[in-house]
Structure 1
Amino acid sequence: MRTNKQKIVLTSKILAIVIAVLLIGFLVFRDELLDQAIDKVSTTMKLEYNSDFAVKKASFDGVSGIELDEITLAPKNLDTIFKIQKIKTTVNLWKLLIGDVQLGTLEIKNGYVQFTKKGKIKNFGAFLKKDKNEPKKPNKKRDYAEFAYRIISKVLNLVPTDMSLENLVFKLDDNGKKATIDIKKLTLFQTKLESSIDVQTNTFTQRWRINGMADPRNKKGDIRFFNIDTGAIKVPYFDERYNLKASFDSIRFNVQNIDMSRGKLHLDGYTSITNLKMNHERIANKDVIIKNARFDYRFLLGSDFISIDSSSTFQFNKIKVHPYLSYNTEKDTVYKLKVAIPKMKAQDFITSLPDGLFTHFQGMEATGDFDYKLDFMFNKNKPNKIIFDSTIDKKDLKITKYGNTNLTKMNGEFTYRAVDKGVLQRPVFVGTNNPYYTTLDQISPYLQKCVLTSEDPSFMSHRGFINEAFKQSILKNIRTKKFSRGASTISMQLVKNVFLTREKTLSRKLEEILLVYIIENNRITSKQRMLEVYFNIIEWGPNVYGIGEAAEFYFQKKPADLNVQECLFLAAIIPKPKKFMWQFDQEGLQKAYATKQQTFLRNLMFRRGLLVPEDTIGQSSPIALTGRAHSLLNIKVQDTTVIDSMAVKEEFDF
């Protein structure tokens, strides 16, 4: 009877013989196998993608090397996707025997890869289409960690340990919007990466460098991307395609750890960028500059979750942010977001704001400290249990200098000009020299209650923002899968109209949030004054601004004389004041949906004790527009011909 040691020795010998036989067989028939592999690829390209794939010459070099000459891929009647003069590579035979492809070395000389789009025709379009005949895979829950690690491993296996690229050109032509990246030379030797790259577009020419360390087998890398010429690196193509002008001095990508253990995948590293400059109409109306930004990331994936760990840090200038992001499918589909800004000096925060993004804060000074926390959670299967909690903890925080913006503007008289579709409207003077200007005590208390109930019920008590409103806004936007509802308070509307332009940019929205916080929390303007200004500047109809004009335009009254029914009407049309006439039919009567909306608002005020039944006595008849607004209604003129002819007949008969 053989001992265990003898069994192991015997098994090893058998395994060695099998491997030797396989290796000999491979060496004997490898040329035929290579030709068959190329033919198979060529057939697949022709039948499935209507493309010609060809290799003029294919041969083995040594035991594990492959050399290909003049390789092309060309879709029928379209631009060639790639044409390369020579590719030489080696593969790991042991990995190949178990079904994995791991490149050892790679050499590419003289070639190009191009993607073109002419009209709607793309030379790579066939490769984007899904195979309709492909059988549907069973709806099996994916293990995120295992799937991600498998993809990362396959990609890294295709990165050679030693590489040499010479004169390899990448071309992009999107209906005349062109970009060419010409890799003059790129080498990777003993983990050291060096390159020489020329970039050319319709608008600029530059020379780039990509240097650093790349160690694909140990899953590590540290690569720096910079420009050797004077000036910053410009991002190609995006300026012409998306009107986004972007540049930076250098960017760095670092991967410190990729580790799969106990069913969890850890990815650690950082990326940094210096002097990032962006210009786009949706971001701001001028260049936005971030001098220094860095993201130290800690990704963690499990079988049923993907997350960015809270130990990650995003830093721009002196501002540090700890983000936590999570997508979890263990029981329900749950999204979580937590943001924490640890205690920092208020002045450091102000000076760290990106140039061009917060122009109204230039020159502002502050004392004291603060920290901030945001907690958000959304359960797809239990949407009504959404969590949105935004808190700021202040310590001796005080604005000592307002900077370039006169934040006390609303406390005195000023001229307001609305902007409609980019067109500046007529000036409206907010002050006693305007005959329509109305002080708060001369505005019907009913109207004040109606407008506050419909627009901002907690205006008198909140500090500019309402967490519950944000929750409902987020929930509505998620359900409709579009931005269909905002969460603007009266404070936010005032700041937007009085201090900011109406441009729809990220800059304007961020400035709006910060200005509201400063004005409300530093009590720069009283709530009563803010409400008075609000009533005197908001649009209430076509070329109708302020309650003084609105009361006369609709009812030929003073704001103090408006009854409850008229106040309900005025409050209801604030969201779409220029379309008030569509609430009325051809007889001049309000349509059912409009009266239902006003009834809902009235009943809500009854329940909250803001109105009592006695307030509406004698106001059950349909509302009547007695001012100039009546002329804008689409009222059908009654045909009196029949009545007149009957009157003539009666008179004749008499």
Structure 2
Amino acid sequence: MRNKKQKFFLFLKILIVFLLFSVAGIYFFRDVLLQKVIEKATSKFEADYNCNFSVQNAHFDGTSSIELNNIILVPKEADTLFSVEKIKTKISLFQLITGDVQLQNLEVKNGFIQLVKNEKGRNFDAFLKKDKSDDSNEKRNYAKLAYRLLSKMLNLVPTEMQLENIALRMDDLGIKVTMQLPKLQLKNHQLQTNINVTENEFSQTWNISGFVDPRAKKADVRIYNSDTSKIQLPYIYKRFGFKSGFKNVHLKLDKFDLESNELHLDGLVSVEDFTISHPKIAKKEVLIKTASFDYRFLLGSDFVSIDSTSSAQINNIKLQPFAEYNTEEDTIYKLRILIPKMKAQDFISSLPEGLFTHFTGMETEGNFDYKLNFKYNKNKPYALVFNSNLNKENLKILKYGEANLNKLNGEFVYRAIENNVLQRPVLVGDSNPNFTPLEQISPYLQKCVLTSEDPSFFSHRGFINEAFKQSITKNIRTKKFSRGASTISMQLIKNVFLTREKTLSRKLEEILLVYLLENNRIASKERMLEVYFNVIEWGPNVYGIGEASAFYFQKKPIDLTLKECLFLASIVPKPKKFMYQFDDEGKLKSFANKHEEFMSKLMLRRGLLTPEDTIGQQIPLSISGRARTHMKFKVQDSIAVDSLFNEFDFN
């Protein structure tokens, strides 16, 4: 029994001595181990990333502190990616041996990270390539990839840190931005720093402060300017044409985890006095006073989404969004937005300044809620889903803003805008001798225009869902506003109240104004059609059907024939190019005749015409009015042009 105990204690003594000698050996040879680790890293950078990595001097200071001097990382045949004069940190020997490094504290002095894109490529491309451990025959799991990369980055963020004179430089084909940190301190999870941001002649100083815990993967940080001016975001203006800034921004990360092969990111982003300016958004700078996004991002192997548990708020407008990009089978985009029941006035007051200028000053009462459901399959574009539902409760307009829709019911002056230039005033009302009441406009013309522009005008409420879907589909495919889905209601709003600019602002205002016009019984359909005929452009400097019938045919609108009405309806989309429908003998070209024939058959089939209406349709169309001066003929026209100018008063 005693022999067994003696043997056990002897073994224990030997083990302790061995461990002591091992620790002592590691301690005394720790610098050698450190050099081995650096040599391993150097080989890995060269083999895996085609980069030269070097450390001029590396040694332990005490038992766990490491100091590195003059560390440089240079991709071959590219600009330096990383350079630091001094790094001092604490790290366990076990982590150093295993390679699973988590920095405890960090001191860095005089260095930079530099991202460069030029004609040779990008100096960081090698670090974006696929991990060799991945099976090249398997679909890449972006959730795992993102989690792995972000986890490694967070592990390299120490629990305590002090940086001095560190810069992040970026050069994107000559667009140069530098973010210089004179001093950054992270202590007891509290972050404090300021950043000097320069882009060519532009310069600002940003302050950053808040809570950061890289091990728990949590953060709560605020960014604000050192003075009272707004933070202006660099790079994006020169790269994308966006001007953007904010008073301060709050960034919060509550969760970062991989669950069932899905990466979960939960947190909050809020911003004050956010401004954005771009010619495709609005003519004026857009201002959002307050906005917040309580987000949950999900990233899987074949999708990325904003989860429906997320919520957003723009001023007083609360939103529940869902968005997804999915490539599991087809490439599918999904978007759902819910605006819970809210006061209409709170909505109007919360619209971003500069984006809805025509609603400024509008007063309403009542409530509403709204739902949008959008789904687009890139491989099946015409199976698009677009459902938009607004439920109103005692909704009334008490006072109009800049766009006074009620003016449609009375006499008013209309002025078209061409290339941001106001055209001559056109009086819409009985005081104008060229104004034509609806009952004095040829029924043929009414039927022709309605057939070509908006067949369901008298039954819809401003929008035609199928046409709207087709418009969205084509605009997505062409990546621009290449096709509208304009009803006569939308054309009327666009002509009378808005400009012709193709901006997001104008399109959103158009949609909202049409909805208000059509769903609040502001003007009758007959009055809307009457105003439409009297304001739209029918040719160069020709506005209203009264002017148009004289310009082309020296007639009153009530006297127009079916053939003449078919022609006038065909030029509504492009009235200034009417002359291209005629040959050099003044006769309609083949394509114009075919279009006329198609429209006639369509209207006959729909019961809008009878066979008797088409008698005499084979007689060639004759342009007898002042429009002839815009047409090209083989022989000089003999019509006395001056007399036609004086026939109607266009002032």
Instruction: Kindly state the Cα deviation for residue 235 of structure 1 after the two structures are TM-superposed.
Output: 2.6
Q: Distance in 1 between matches of 2:263 and 2:197?
A: 37
Q: Distance in 2 between matches of 1:583 and 1:87?
A: 76
Say if 1:381 and 1:240 are closer, same or farther in 2 by CA, change over 3 A. Answer: closer
Please state if 1:38 is matched with 2:42. Answer: yes
Amino acid at match of 1:556: Q
Q: Distance in 2 between matches of 1:244 and 1:336?
A: 26
Instruction: Kindly state the Cα deviation for residue 37 of structure 1 after the two structures are TM-superposed.
Output: 3.9
Say if 1:247 and 1:519 are closer, same or farther in 2 by CA, change over 3 A. Answer: same
The 5 Å alignment of 1:297-446 reads 297-446=295-444
Match of 2:579 in 1: 581
Say if 1:131 and 1:507 are closer, same or farther in 2 by CA, change over 3 A. Answer: closer
Say if 1:193 and 1:550 are closer, same or farther in 2 by CA, change over 3 A. Answer: same
> Structure 2 length as normaliser, TM-score?
0.84
Say if 1:95 and 1:586 are closer, same or farther in 2 by CA, change over 3 A. Answer: farther
The 5 Å alignment of 1:132-531 reads 138=136, 140-171=138-169, 179-201=177-199, 205-238=203-236, 244-531=242-529
Instruction: Kindly state the Cα deviation for residue 35 of structure 1 after the two structures are TM-superposed.
Output: 4.1
1:328-387 deviation per Cα after TM superposition (whole angstroms, max 9, x unaligned): 344443322111100011111112122232232222221111100011122334333221
> Structure 1 length as normaliser, TM-score?
0.83
Q: Distance in 1 between matches of 2:593 and 2:136?
A: 53
Q: Distance in 2 between matches of 1:583 and 1:522?
A: 41
Q: Does the CA contact (< 8 Å) of 2:336 and 2:372 recur in 1? A: yes
Q: Does the CA contact (< 8 Å) of 1:75 and 1:123 recur in 2? A: no
Q: Distance in 1 between matches of 2:475 and 2:71?
A: 50
Q: Distance in 2 between matches of 1:477 and 1:280?
A: 19
Q: Which ranges of structure 2 fall in alignment gaps of 5 or more residues?
A: 1-14, 637-651
Which segment is superposed worse, 447-456 or 294-303?
294-303
Q: CA RMSD in A?
A: 3.6
Match of 2:107 in 1: 107
Q: Does the CA contact (< 8 Å) of 2:163 and 2:183 recur in 1? A: yes
Say if 1:516 and 1:196 are closer, same or farther in 2 by CA, change over 3 A. Answer: same
Instruction: Kindly state the Cα deviation for residue 254 of structure 1 after the two structures are TM-superposed.
Output: 0.9
Q: Does the CA contact (< 8 Å) of 2:375 and 2:384 recur in 1? A: yes
Instruction: Kindly state the Cα deviation for residue 225 of structure 1 after the two structures are TM-superposed.
Output: 0.9
Q: Does the CA contact (< 8 Å) of 2:197 and 2:204 recur in 1? A: yes
Q: Does the CA contact (< 8 Å) of 2:37 and 2:97 recur in 1? A: no
Q: Distance in 1 between matches of 2:89 and 2:290?
A: 40
Q: Does the CA contact (< 8 Å) of 1:101 and 1:158 recur in 2? A: yes
Which segment is superposed worse, 602-611 or 70-79?
70-79
Tell me the secondary structure at the aligned position of residue 475 of structure 1.
helix
Q: Does the CA contact (< 8 Å) of 1:61 and 1:67 recur in 2? A: yes
Instruction: Kindly state the Cα deviation for residue 388 of structure 1 after the two structures are TM-superposed.
Output: 0.9
Tell me the secondary structure at the aligned position of residue 291 of structure 1.
strand
Match of 2:84 in 1: 84
Q: Distance in 2 between matches of 1:140 and 1:92?
A: 37
Q: Distance in 1 between matches of 2:313 and 2:482?
A: 32
Q: Distance in 1 between matches of 2:610 and 2:30?
A: 94
Q: Distance in 2 between matches of 1:75 and 1:305?
A: 32
Q: Does the CA contact (< 8 Å) of 2:115 and 2:124 recur in 1? A: no
Instruction: Kindly state the Cα deviation for residue 83 of structure 1 after the two structures are TM-superposed.
Output: 4.2
Say if 1:217 and 1:613 are closer, same or farther in 2 by CA, change over 3 A. Answer: farther
Instruction: Kindly state the Cα deviation for residue 318 of structure 1 after the two structures are TM-superposed.
Output: 1.3
Which segment is superposed worse, 324-333 or 175-184?
175-184
Which segment is superposed worse, 283-292 or 206-215?
283-292
Tell me the secondary structure at the aligned position of residue 323 of structure 1.
strand
Instruction: Kindly state the Cα deviation for residue 627 of structure 1 after the two structures are TM-superposed.
Output: 2.7
Tell me the secondary structure at the aligned position of residue 604 of structure 1.
helix
Match of 1:9 in 2: none
1:614-646 deviation per Cα after TM superposition (whole angstroms, max 9, x unaligned): 2212202443333333343334459xxxxxxxx
1:90-126 deviation per Cα after TM superposition (whole angstroms, max 9, x unaligned): 5676667666554444332113445678xxx568745
Q: Does the CA contact (< 8 Å) of 1:115 and 1:123 recur in 2? A: no
1:191-234 deviation per Cα after TM superposition (whole angstroms, max 9, x unaligned): 22111323345565443211112222222111111123233323
Amino acid at match of 2:370: Y
Say if 1:188 and 1:287 are closer, same or farther in 2 by CA, change over 3 A. Answer: same
Instruction: Kindly state the Cα deviation for residue 394 of structure 1 after the two structures are TM-superposed.
Output: 0.7
Q: Does the CA contact (< 8 Å) of 2:481 and 2:502 recur in 1? A: no
Q: Distance in 2 between matches of 1:340 and 1:272?
A: 20
Say if 1:78 and 1:338 are closer, same or farther in 2 by CA, change over 3 A. Answer: closer
Amino acid at match of 2:213: D
Instruction: Kindly state the Cα deviation for residue 471 of structure 1 after the two structures are TM-superposed.
Output: 0.9
Q: Does the CA contact (< 8 Å) of 1:495 and 1:515 recur in 2? A: yes
Which segment is superposed worse, 240-249 or 430-439?
240-249
Say if 1:245 and 1:386 are closer, same or farther in 2 by CA, change over 3 A. Answer: closer
1:565-597 deviation per Cα after TM superposition (whole angstroms, max 9, x unaligned): 222222222222222222333444333333333
Q: Distance in 1 between matches of 2:246 and 2:627?
A: 55
Tell me the secondary structure at the aligned position of residue 367 of structure 2.
strand
Q: Distance in 1 between matches of 2:223 and 2:318?
A: 24
Tell me the secondary structure at the aligned position of residue 514 of structure 1.
helix
Q: Distance in 2 between matches of 1:327 and 1:243?
A: 26
Say if 1:271 and 1:626 are closer, same or farther in 2 by CA, change over 3 A. Answer: same
1:539-560 deviation per Cα after TM superposition (whole angstroms, max 9, x unaligned): 1222222222222222232222
The share of aligned pairs that are identical, in percent, is: 59
Q: Does the CA contact (< 8 Å) of 1:284 and 1:508 recur in 2? A: yes
Say if 1:94 and 1:365 are closer, same or farther in 2 by CA, change over 3 A. Answer: farther
1:53-75 deviation per Cα after TM superposition (whole angstroms, max 9, x unaligned): 66443445567765432345678
Q: Does the CA contact (< 8 Å) of 1:72 and 1:84 recur in 2? A: yes
Q: Does the CA contact (< 8 Å) of 2:218 and 2:254 recur in 1? A: yes
Q: Distance in 1 between matches of 2:503 and 2:187?
A: 47
Which segment is superposed worse, 460-469 or 134-143?
134-143
Amino acid at match of 1:458: S
Say if 1:603 and 1:353 are closer, same or farther in 2 by CA, change over 3 A. Answer: same
1:468-491 deviation per Cα after TM superposition (whole angstroms, max 9, x unaligned): 221111222334444321122222
Instruction: Kindly state the Cα deviation for residue 139 of structure 1 after the two structures are TM-superposed.
Output: 6.2
Which segment is superposed worse, 318-327 or 396-405?
396-405
Which segment is superposed worse, 98-107 or 554-563?
98-107
Say if 1:162 and 1:580 are closer, same or farther in 2 by CA, change over 3 A. Answer: same
Tell me the secondary structure at the aligned position of residue 550 of structure 1.
helix
Q: Which ranges of structure 1 fall in alignment gaps of 5 or more residues?
A: 1-12, 639-654
Q: Distance in 2 between matches of 1:429 and 1:79?
A: 66
Q: Does the CA contact (< 8 Å) of 1:247 and 1:278 recur in 2? A: yes
Instruction: Kindly state the Cα deviation for residue 321 of structure 1 after the two structures are TM-superposed.
Output: 0.6
